Structure 1
Amino acid sequence: MPQTAVIPPGTGVPLAPYVPGTLADGILYVSGTLPFDKQNNVVHVGDAAAQTRHVLTTIQGVVEAAGGTMADVTMNHIFLTDWANYGAINAVYAEFFPGSKPARYCIQCGLVKPDALVEIATVAHVGKKA
C-alpha cells in the first residue's frame, strides 16, 4: 500500500527515526506529539493546559498538511504523567473537538522528557490522498 510522509513546513528534526504523520489509503496516522519547540525543548514547563494546546495545535498542522481538519480525527491516544492534570488537559481538548468527539483513551505514564506533561497520537480519516 502506498504511504506518504506528512511533514508540515517548519517542522523540526524529530528526536527519533519517525515523521510527524503517515498517510495511507486515506487514513492519517499522527505520531505521538509532545510539547516541543523546533529544537525539541519542552515548552510551557509546568502548565498542562498550555502544553496540551501546543500539542493539539501541532497535530492540527499535521492534519491540515494532509488535507484534513480536526473534524476528521477519529481516535486520540493520550498519555499524561499525572492524573492531577486530567482536568486541564480535558478543558483544552474540548476546545479542539467542540462537536462530535473522536474516540480516545488516556493513560498515565512516563514521557521521553521529564518536563513534558502530555503526549497525544492521533488517527484521522482525511480521504484517499496517498
Structure 2
Amino acid sequence: MPGTPIIPDGSPPPLAPYSPGMLAAGEALYISGTLALDTDGKLVGEGDATAQTRQVLEAIKSVIAAAGGTMADVTFNMIFLKDFADYPKMNAVYAEYFPSPCPARYCIRADLVKPEFLVEIASIAHISR
C-alpha cells in the first residue's frame, strides 16, 4: 500500500470501503469525502447545512490531527453541495475553519450518496514533520 491509513478514534463506520485518510510519503494527507456523521454513523444536522458543514469540518480536523497536523496544513478542498442555496451557509462556517490565507478549492452541486446529506468535503493536506 502506498500510504498509511489514518483512522481517528471515534470515526463513524464507513458507508463504503474506504479509509478516512491516507498519509502518503509521510506528508501528503488525502482525506476522503466526508459527510456529517456522528461516531455511531448517524446524520448530524438533518436539513441544516450550517450544522452539517461544521460536523464535516470537525471530522476532517480529527483526521488531520490523527496524522499530526492542523487545519492550517490543508492545501486543497473539494466541496460538494446538494443545493447551491446552501452555499452561503456552508461558506460562513468554512471561513471559520480556514482564515486567510485560504486553501485552494472548488465547489460543485452534486447528488450525494443519500438524500439527507447536504454537504460533503474531501481535502488534501501537507503535514510538515
- Measured against the shorter chain, the TM-score band is over 0.9
Deviating 4+ runs (over 2 angstroms): 38-41
Question: Residue 123 of structure 1 aligns with which residue?
Answer: 124
Matches within 5 A, 1:28-67: 28-67=29-68
* Unaligned stretches of 5+ residues in structure 1: none
Question: Residue 9 of structure 1 aligns with which residue?
Answer: 9
Identity rate, percent:
59
Tell me if the contact between 1:79 and 1:109 (Cα under 8 Å) persists in the aligned partners: yes
State the SS of the aligned residue for 1:36: coil
Question: Residue 101 of structure 2 aligns with which residue?
Answer: 100
State the SS of the aligned residue for 2:89: helix
Shift of 1:39: 3.2
Structure 2-normalised TM-score? 0.95
> CA–CA distance in 1 between the matches of 2:10 and 2:48?
24
> CA–CA distance in 1 between the matches of 2:18 and 2:128?
22
Structure 1-normalised TM-score? 0.94
Shift of 1:40: 2.5
Count of residues in correspondence between the two structures: 128
* Unaligned stretches of 5+ residues in structure 2: none
Shift of 1:13: 1.8
